[in-house]
Amino acid sequence: MTAPTTRKDLMIVNMGPQHPSMHGVLRLIVTLDGEDVVDCEPILGYLHRGMEKIAENRTIIQYLPYVTRWDYLATMFTEAITINGPEQLGNIQVPKRASYIRVIMLELSRIASHLLWLGPFMADIGAQTPFFYIFRERELIYDLFEAATGMRMMHNYFRIGGVAADLPYGWIDKCLDFCDYFLTGVAEYQKLITRNPIFLERVEGVGIIGGDEALNWGLSGPMLRASGIEWDLRKVDHYESYDEFDWQVQWQREGDSLARYLVRIGEMTESIKIIQQALEGIPGGPYENLEIRRFDRLKDPEWNDFEYRFISKKPSPTFELSKQELYVRVEAPKGELGIFLIGDQSVFPWRWKIRSPGFINLQILPQLVKRMKLADIMTILGSIDIIMGEVDR
């Protein structure tokens, strides 16, 4: 019997599980025909820690320190979504000042995330310099976080009904100084990168996603906006106090890796605009809703009205999640970060489903890299912007 004649010998290559960038542990099984990619299969799960199950036997306030470990570069967003759910279930009002502080923290976190996307993305496609530049600005953001929350990366700062502590004295001026400085930094990146012919050669027309295709795959965030669809949950859902600021949704028509780069660079400048407006217009008043401190204390005859007013990072009372289901979402730097929450008249959630943007955006990778060159895998994967902590949860 004669052996079946194959057109060519295909080669199967393992990319990973230790990935050459900072996205976490991803393994790609790539089938190559010479230098051309025939097939690509992502293997996930190396960073799975059972975050959804952990949520089901923790109260919300006990669970808060865990959530910053999903997407450990945009930590404020995971905290925001974790308390937005219970706030909506319990119909808890957030004071205006707390809402402004949240917006400032979220936008700073967005800039930090985009910076740490930009550096490794450039390093992936062969430009080392921006990788060192981004750490200057990112360090300043982490200094601001440390001054306000006491922690640089895992903040544990948001609370049901507000935030854990008010902004310290002098913080607002320090943050305004950062905003002025950062705008010069972004101008420097654009001068260095945006019109660089070698960079354009690597990203232009690589990994093109059409608008309909992006919608069919359920993409969100910069992946969706780079394909010509103006969809930003900050404008759509009107959460926190984003409606009170003047800013534009960043989007591009081309749908390639360059468009995704331009959307993220544009978002950093828009975030600075939002932060500056929030800092200048921040109202006075309480930074948390003190009423929710008293939920379960009424049974205690010794309860003194003023006892709950002392200021520290003390936990909110464990109030019960009412028996209903809810889906909440925020516009995280990587896309739509959502949580499907089912309450069960208990202090623990009955179900806590995390819709991480990275997981859904990563699905389109095999389709994008087919018929491309091997070197383009790094460009396309970098432009998707994944963090395996939230992909594997």
Taking only the tens place, the pLDDT of each residue in 332-385 is 999 899 999 888 887 888 888 999 998 898 888 888 888 888 888 888 888 888
- Are the C-beta atoms of 165 and 147 separated by less than 8 Å? no
User: What is the average pLDDT across 79-87?
Assistant: 87
Residue 244 above 70 pLDDT? yes
**103 falls in which pLDDT band (50, 70, 90)?**
very high
Residue 93 pLDDT > 50, yes or no?
A: yes
Q: How far apart are CA 289 and CA 202, in angstroms?
A: 51
Instruction: Give the distance between the most distant pair of CA atoms in the chain.
Output: 92
| pLDDT attached to residue 313 | 42
Annotate 178-237 with three-state secondary structure: HHHHHHHHHHHHHHHHHCCHHHHHHHCCCCCCCHHHHHHCCCCCHHHHCCCCCCCHHHHC
Backbone angles phi, psi at 174, to 5 degrees: -60, -40
Mean pLDDT of all residues in 68-84: 88
Q: Which residues pair with 36 in a beta bridge?
A: 33, 373
Domains detected in the chain: 11-291+309-391 (1.10.645.10)
* pTM: predicted TM-score of the whole model, two decimal places: 0.87
What does the pLDDT read at residue 319?
A: 66
**CA 171 – CA 192 distance, rounded (Å):** 31
Confidence at 290, pLDDT banded by 50, 70, 90: low
pLDDT in tens, 136-163: 889 999 999 999 988 888 888 888 888 8
Do 142 and 115 form a contact (C-beta atoms < 8 A)? Answer: no
Residue type, 388: M
Which one-letter amino acid corresponds to residue 176? Answer: L
- Alpha-carbon span 382 to 385, nearest angstrom: 5
Of 182-191, 193-202, 218-227, 305-314, which gets the smallest average pLDDT? Answer: 305-314
Average pLDDT, the chain: 83
pLDDT tens string 163-195: 888 888 999 999 999 999 999 989 988 888 888
Q: How far apart are CA 119 and CA 123, in angstroms?
A: 6
Structure tokens at 113: 């995330």
Residue-wise pLDDT for 316-331, tens only, equals 456 677 888 889 999 9
d(CA 240, CA 325): 21
- Residue 296: its pLDDT value, please? 46
Closest CA to 162 of 75, 109, 233, 86: 86
Q: Are 385 and 358 in contact (CB under 8 A)?
A: yes
177 is written with which tokens? 């100084």
The pLDDT of residue 177: 92
pLDDT exceeds cutoff 80 at 275 = yes
Amino acid at 377: I
Task: Tell me the C-alpha to C-alpha distance, in Å, between residue 134 and each of 181, 321, 329.
Answer: 13, 41, 28
So what's the pLDDT on residue 161?
82
Give mean pLDDT, residues 296-302.
48
Please state, in angstroms and rounded to a whole number, the distance separating the CA atoms of residues 382 and 23. 9
Give the closest residue to 249 by CA, choosing from 277, 229, 219. Answer: 229
Cα–Cα dist 169/344, whole Å: 42
Distance CA 313, CA 29 (A): 46
C-alpha distance from residue 68 to each of 46, 354, 358 (Å): 18, 13, 15
Higher pLDDT residue, 302 or 104?
Answer: 104
The rounded radius of gyration (Å) of the Cα atoms in the chain is: 23
Quick one: pLDDT band at residue 272, thresholds 50, 70, 90? very high
Cβ-based neighbours of 191, under 8 Å, separated by 6 or more: none
Closest by alpha carbon to 70, among 353, 350, 271?
353
Arithmetic mean of pLDDT, 247-260: 89
pLDDT at 294 (0 to 100): 52
The single-letter DSSP state of residue 322 is P
Higher pLDDT, 23 or 96: 96
Helix intervals (H) in the chain? 51-55, 60-67, 75-89, 96-124, 129-149, 171-189, 197-203, 211-216, 222-225, 233-236, 257-281, 357-362, 365-369, 374-384, 388-392
